[in-house]
């Protein structure tokens, strides 16, 4: 994949992995549009990278996803890459009382949005040159961490969807890429909860080199091992993670 000459939309792109990945496209001369819910986070990202375009949008809400497609089609018709990166992670115990609307929102953000956005943008992407969809899943797609059960289920489903999408689009120009992060030091789940993770720029530098070289499923460190593990190896990984 060429990192230059694209127009890319990154959901949840104002922070963390989305911003670190977006930077590689930006520094190679691509036009970058970031979307997210928090205006202050979007403005902060734009201060860092002044040519980036920012757009407030909550991808957990279907009407906002449709409005996002319309905005891009009208204002950035050259858009050729969709990066489904927005995600939230909640630590919950299924047996304890919890707000169903919060759980629904986690499913909507992590799973419904990438599926719906793919549907909404594919007719547009099919008419562009070098089109691609990059879905951000997780090492937890392959072996769950039981303290974040809904998150892991959404990421496993997104991995599955990404495989089917790639298969369905194999005869088209649309490349379907899966980015499989390990624990990365971002604010995922809340500030301070992922400080044990790898450095976000170290992660992005490695995976973007491989995506640029044409790889379609890319992990880093522990997630590279997990995505390639056999079923018996996954059982060992599951026990180690949840022990
Ligand atoms: N960090 C890790 O250890 C790790 C590991 C595996 C996979 N991942 C995945 O990597 C992706 C990026 O996460 P991150 O680690 O970079 O954490 P992050 O910094 O918290 O980034 C998540 C981004 O998503 C945005 N977002 C959340 N809900 C949204 C919504 N409804 N609509 C639009 N934007 C929304 C957030 O912005 P607003 O709050 O302003 O909307 C934020 O910018 C996620 O899909 C996550 O699951 C992360």
Question: In the prediction, which pLDDT does 53 show?
Answer: 98
Question: In the prediction, which pLDDT does 141 show?
Answer: 98
Tokens 């490695």 belong to which residue? 206
Question: In the prediction, which pLDDT does 239 show?
Answer: 98
- Per-position DSSP letters for 132-194, written without gaps between them: EEEEE--GGGTS--TTSHHHHHHHHHHHHHHHHHHHHTTTSS-EEEEEE--SBSS-TTSTTTT
Question: In the prediction, which pLDDT does 81 show?
Answer: 98
The finding on whether 65 has its CB within 6 A of some atom of ligand 1 is no
- Contacts by residues 166-173 (CB-CB < 8 Å, ≥ 24 positions apart): 166/216, 169/122, 172/126, 173/126, 173/129, 173/130, 173/131
Instruction: Tell me the average confidence (pLDDT) per consecutive run of 10 residues in the chain, 243 residues long.
Output: 97 98 98 98 98 98 98 98 98 91 97 98 97 98 98 98 98 98 95 94 98 98 98 98 95
Question: In the prediction, which pLDDT does 232 show?
Answer: 98
Task: Note the pLDDT tens digit of each residue in 183-220.
Answer: 999 999 999 999 999 999 999 999 999 999 999 999 99
- Pick the catalytic residue: 151, 161, 203, 220? 151
Round to whole Å and give the CA distance between 150 and 121: 26
Q: Which residue ranges form the domains of the chain, and what is each CATH number?
A: 7-242 (3.40.50.720)
For ligand 1, atom 23, name the residue with the nearest CA.
12
> How would you write 192-217 as a 3-class SS string?
CCCCCCECHHHHHHHHHHHHHCCCCE
Pocket test for ligand 1, best of 12, 13, 37, 200 (most atoms within 8 A of CB): 12
Instruction: Please answer whether residues 12 and 22 qualify as being in contact, where contact means their C-beta atoms are separated by less than 8 angstroms.
Output: no
The finding on whether 41 has its CB within 6 A of some atom of ligand 1 is yes
Give catalytic status of residue 151 as yes or no.
yes
Question: In the prediction, which pLDDT does 97 show?
Answer: 84
């Amino acid at each position: 994949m060429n990192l230059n000459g694209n127009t890319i939309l990154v959901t949840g792109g104002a922070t963390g992995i989305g911003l670190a990945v977006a930077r590689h496209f930006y520094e190679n001369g691509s036009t970058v549009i970031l979307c997210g819910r928090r205006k202050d986070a979007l403005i902060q990202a734009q201060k860092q990278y002044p040519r980036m375009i920012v757009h407030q949008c909550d991808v957990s809400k279907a009407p906002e996803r449709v409005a996002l497609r319309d905005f891009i089609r009208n204002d950035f018709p050259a858009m050729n890459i969709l990066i489904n990166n927005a995600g939230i992670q909640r630590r919950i115990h299924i047996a304890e009382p919890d707000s169903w609307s919060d759980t629904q929102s986690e499913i909507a953000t992590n799973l419904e949005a990438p599926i719906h956005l793919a549907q909404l943008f594919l007719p547009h992407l099919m008419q562009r040159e070098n089109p691609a969809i990059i879905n951000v899943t997780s090492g937890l797609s392959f072996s769950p961490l039981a303290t974040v059960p809904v998150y892991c289920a959404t990421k496993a489903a997104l991995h599955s969807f990404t495989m089917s999408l790639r298969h369905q689009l194999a005869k088209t120009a649309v490349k379907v890429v899966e980015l499989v992060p390990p624990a990365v030091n971002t604010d995922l789940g809340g500030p301070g909860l992922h400080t044990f993770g790898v450095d976000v720029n170290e992660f992005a530098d490695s995976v973007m080199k491989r995506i640029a070289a044409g790889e379609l499923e890319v992990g880093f460190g522990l997630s590279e091992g997990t995505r390639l593990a056999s079923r018996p190896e996954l059982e060992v990984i599951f026990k180690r993670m949840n022990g």
